Structure 1
Amino acid sequence: MDKVVVNAADAVADITDGATLAVGGFGLCGVPSVLIQAVHHAGPVGLTAVSNNCGVDDWGLGILLADRRIATMISSYVGENKEFERQFLAGELEVHLTPQGTLAEKLRAGGSGIPAFYTATGVGTQIAEGGLPLRYAADGTIALASPPKATAEFTVGGETRTYVLEEAISTDFALVRAWKGDRHGNLIYRSTARNFNPLAAMAGRVTIAEVEELVEPGELDPDQIHTPSIFVQRVVPLTPQQAANKRIERRTTRPRPASQEG
């Protein structure tokens, strides 16, 4: 089945107000920037975004945040996005801060049909006990706090510990970026750009993948495929210019060593 959609605008056209989005990427690595820009142009509001972070002020999910398109963020890291911090502290944005590994497992579980799971992460903190600020009031007080979560004791390897119950996450749509993909929707990510992309792809009921290189079915080595086609509904091939347009969050350089000739 050919899942290729010629342009990003058509691929995201049915993302409407109030939709939930799982978005791949980590910092600015592996971010589906072309699809995010298309969502921005389409104009839906009141979105809930599930992503490790929210890009930066002028890139990735940051462009949706800056125009008040996102109502709720479920993420692990505020990162370098000053507007993300400002909106949260000013009471303009609801934020569910989630431990990074827990967020990853929530997305994986959602894509696997697992409704919830127990983890030791967060036990003894506000993650489990409740009271974590989700939304602030304009005066800086807590307007909405997280509720307590169920816990249970399990004995593993002879040791009894307390675990907290975490619910899975599934979303209306998922936006991901892949290095290579075929027309059926099989995807390969490159190096660290894999990050949250495979997990986001699993969690979306409709997963849209932008791919830097589109190949024909059968050209990808089955043993190298990270996201199989069953999880992907739409594939958007990028132009060479779009594929090359990548941002570096923090550029670190050092002087080039002197040559032997001096």
Structure 2
Amino acid sequence: MSDLSAQNLTIASIEVEGNRMADESLILSVSDLTVGSVLTSTATQDAIRHIYDLGLFSDVQLLGEIEDDKYIDLIIKVEEYPVVTEVQYKGNDEISDKDLREIDSIRIGQMISPNQVLASVKQIKAKYQDKGYYRVKIESELKEVTDDPLTNEHILVFNIDEGPKIRIREIEFVGNEVFTDDKLRSKMGNKPKGFLRSGNFDPEKHEEDKEKIVQFYREKGYIDAAILSDTVIIDEVDPRWMTVQIEVYEGPRYYFGETSFYGHK
């Protein structure tokens, strides 16, 4: 067998090896390699890239047997991504399997790439963080269904360490001189834990709260007001608690008349 170190050979034949689910005609079509054409270095690189771009294979190689230093019997050797026959979730006490499946993009019976698994991990993590589990850890593993080398079936397992639910201990503001922290907090939907308040942190509500704060300033004449940054700080001693810190820019106050307005520093 040759690794195609010799170039500019005429292709005498083409075979595909290693494909179990992927259609051979599809592989041949995207490779742009045809019997009778010359196998150049560029054609080799393009073929490998185009086959990879299908998103079905973890490895693609072009091999072949050279005849008379002119011709090559070409072999396109591929290694398919594993096929998922089942998805399992372990360690999920706060979110049901059913709810996780609804947001998980993995589908039974499809080949999956590492990037697809990573995307699912991010989706699951986002779901937990929406519920206040900011220290959730998720690891994935693929388990072979059978030792039969002719199959490529795997069980995808997500091992979940939910960690503690984190609540808001305090909401602090930086840069506010005109309005107090209490005044700005009163405009927010997210609240620190207190009597009849859970202290749960809602990311969507947090985005709305920032808009409410800016709108409040503008209604009071601070047209240039803006949120410069917002930070969630997890308590290192007791990770069940967080502090939300919001940095505001107030800017000058504008006074509006019937036909003109001016700023007051």
TM class, shorter-length: under 0.3
- Structure with more relative contact order (C-alpha pairs < 8 Å, separation 6 or more): 1
Q: TM-score, normalised by structure 1?
A: 0.18
The structure with the larger Rg is 2
Q: TM-score, normalised by structure 2?
A: 0.18
More strand by share: 2
